[in-house]
Homo-oligomer: A and B are copies of this chain.
Amino acid sequence: MSDLDSTRVAVVGASGYSGAELIRILLSHELAELVCVTSRAESGRKLSEVFPRFRGVERAEAIKFIEPTIDLIIGSGAEVVFLALPHGVAAEYAGPLVDSGLKVIDLSADFRISDPEVYADFYEADHPDPDRLSDAVYGLPEIRPNEIAESKLVASPGCYPTSIILPLIPILQEGLIDDSSIHVVSMSGTSGAGKKADAALLFAECNESVRPYSVPKHRHLSEIEQELSLAAGNNVTISFTPVLVPVTAGICSIIYATSRDGSRNDDVKGALENKYSEAPFVRLLGESSPPDTKNVTQTNFIDISWSYDKRSDRFILMSAEDNLIKGASGQAIQSFNLMCGFDQTTGLVI
């Protein structure tokens, strides 16, 4: 199937939704060998017992959860470690593992923000390992594939940020919009809140409910603005409102931005096509062809559309992705592929 050797991987904190998606992808990834899954709560149990979906899957039946200690992870022989842990906790693992020569892909926020003061402002705690921030790469494979390929520590982006940054970066880079005019509303499925026993996330509370939250300052603003500022070449501040809607998976973002210098739909189309012509997971739907999350769930695609409103001289950018895949685990696998020298799509196509 390939002359490439497969890579041994570990998933730390594997009992949540992102962890389960990572494992699902890795179990059928032809160049990854899953050698270690950890979970404090599930230690000792078989993977297929904790995740009944994986029963009968040969590669899954052989694996048991172990305790998440640095020694056990290193001892498993893993070459690359995915951290699916809460922020603050991930940093406790990333440093020692990298220092021991392993590569780390962190799905938490710990290494996404290059400025520790911004981290402290948004996460209300001092950064646990500020000296290592400069070693980390913010892992958007469409934007900086080479840095990811050479990195030992990838900070995989958040779900909301991915859906907002990817449509905007090419447009900001080409100066097509007023960078002070960005307003975003993002709707997310409940799996984004994680698998935690919280009465506010019960079916009977989320069903038939549409619920904005974390206004006006959601934590993801920190990484969104960091990346948009890099693209614009100056500080960008945006408005962002997340809304919980009753789907299990999927994020849809609506992004408003005012046209600059007479830019129109064709300019936006050109910028996006130019930037993403080689990006296998970005699908450009065309003008005024809104995305639908159900077309991207269970895939690593992000669908993007745009519409110029001449009445207001504003663009409406729209995107849809699976929050657990392109917004988390699938994107982390893209980075993994790049870090291992594999084709970016390995294990991810349909």
Contact = CB atoms under 8 A, between A and B. Distances in A.
A293 B210 contact: yes
Interface stretch (A78-86, A154-162, A196-204): A196-204
Number of copies: 4
Contacts of A173: none
A190 B203 contact: yes
Interface string A53-70: 101110000000000000
Contacts of A226: none
Contact of A290 (B205, B213, B311): B213
A350 B28 contact: yes
A207 B248 contact: yes
Nearest to A308: B216
Interface stretch (A105-113, A126-134, A297-305, A332-340): A297-305
B201 A312 contact: no
A24 interface: yes
Interface string A79-120: 000000000000000000000000000000000000000000
Given A210-B250, A247-B208, A307 B216 contact: yes
Nearest to A201: B202
Interface string A280-319: 1101010010111111111101010001110110101010
Most buried by B among A212, A308, A309: A212
A316 B185 CA distance: 11
28 contacts: A17-B204, A28-B350, A53-B294, A53-B295, A55-B283, A56-B281, A183-B256, A185-B185, A187-B243, A201-B203, A202-B202, A203-B205, A203-B207, A203-B246, A203-B248, A207-B208, A207-B247, A208-B249, A208-B294, A209-B247, A209-B250, A209-B292, A211-B291, A216-B308, A216-B312, A239-B256, A245-B246, A246-B247
